[in-house]
């Protein structure tokens, strides 16, 4: 299903029109909420268009892409090479559900259009992995995508998208924001900001609570 987000482009790269459309609005949020320096881990980098766009705009940060799909990792490498970026590391083979993650420390974790194209266990694993990686108070966890609010879809288009997802896999679907926030709270995160985004999506910004010690 994730391969439907784009199509082969050239030199091993994939291209998704949706990534081009939303990379600017997402960057506008990241410019405000990310630390000025440090390591940013992206979960599910997909085509790689997002991370190269962010890395070009925020060169003082080091960016770590990841994806469990071989074709997408090759695509990320292609986009990095195209832009000749030296602040983006080689993409990692990282399955969000396979704990512990190969990255043990980060200053921010991004998951863009991830949790609705995966079972609920992936959301649980994402929060557990981010809790371990963001072991200091203030670390940023940024989620982007469509959400239900108070048990209802926020738009007819989101309801149709949710039905399409569940028809592909009953474990997938647009998540209830309140359930994600509650689960994040148990993992040591507090909701810092909600930002309405184009096409009925949300930017959901969490911060690691100070004093939420990393388990030994």
Report the distance separating Cα 139 and Cα 154, nearest Å: 29
The per-residue pLDDT of the chain, averaged, comes to: 93
Task: Say what the pLDDT of residue 38 is.
Answer: 97
Which pLDDT does position 215 carry in this prediction? 43
Give the up-direction half-sphere exposure of residue 131: CA atoms within 13 A in the CB hemisphere: 21
pLDDT at 147: 98
Q: What confidence tier does 1 reach under pLDDT thresholds 50, 70, 90?
A: very low
For residue 212, name the pLDDT band (cuts at 50, 70, 90). Answer: low
How far, in Å, CA of 175 to CA of 147, rounded?
5
pLDDT of 105-151, one tens digit each? 999 999 999 999 999 999 999 999 999 999 888 899 999 999 999 99
Cβ pair 124, 8 in contact under 8 A:
no
The enclosing H or E element of 81 equals helix 70-83
pLDDT at residue number 137: 84
pLDDT at 216: 41
More confident residue, 184 or 10: 184
Q: What is the pLDDT of residues 34-45, one digit of tens each?
A: 999 999 999 999
User: What was the pLDDT predicted at 164?
Assistant: 95
pLDDT bucket at 6, cuts 50 / 70 / 90: low
Domain 2-208 in this protein, CATH class? alpha beta
Instruction: Return the domain boundaries, the chain.
Output: 2-208
């Amino acid at each position: 299903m994730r391969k439907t987000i784009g199509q082969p482009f050239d030199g091993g790269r994939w291209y998704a029109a949706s990534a081009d459309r939303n990379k600017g609005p997402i960057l506008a949020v990241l410019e405000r909420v990310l630390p000025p320096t440090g390591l940013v881990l992206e979960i599910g980098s997909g085509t790689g268009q997002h991370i190269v766009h962010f890395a070009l705009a925020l060169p003082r940060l080091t960016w770590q892409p990841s994806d469990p799909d071989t074709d997408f990792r090759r695509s990320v490498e292609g986009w990095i090479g195209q832009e000749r970026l030296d602040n983006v590391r080689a993409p990692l083979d990282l399955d969000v559900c396979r704990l512990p993650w190969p990255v043990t420390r980060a200053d921010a974790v991004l998951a863009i259009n991830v949790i609705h194209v995966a079972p609920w266990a992936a959301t649980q694993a994402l929060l557990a992995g981010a809790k371990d990686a963001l072991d200091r108070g203030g670390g940023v966890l940024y989620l982007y995508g469509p959400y239900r609010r108070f048990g209802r879809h926020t738009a007819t288009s989101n309801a149709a998208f949710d039905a399409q997802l569940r028809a592909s896999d009953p474990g997938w679907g647009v998540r209830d924001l309140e359930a994600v926030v509650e689960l994040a709270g148990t993992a040591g995160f507090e909701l810092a900001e909600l930002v309405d985004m184009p096409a009925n999506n949300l930017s959901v910004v969490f911060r690691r609570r100070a004093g939420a010690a990393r388990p030994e």
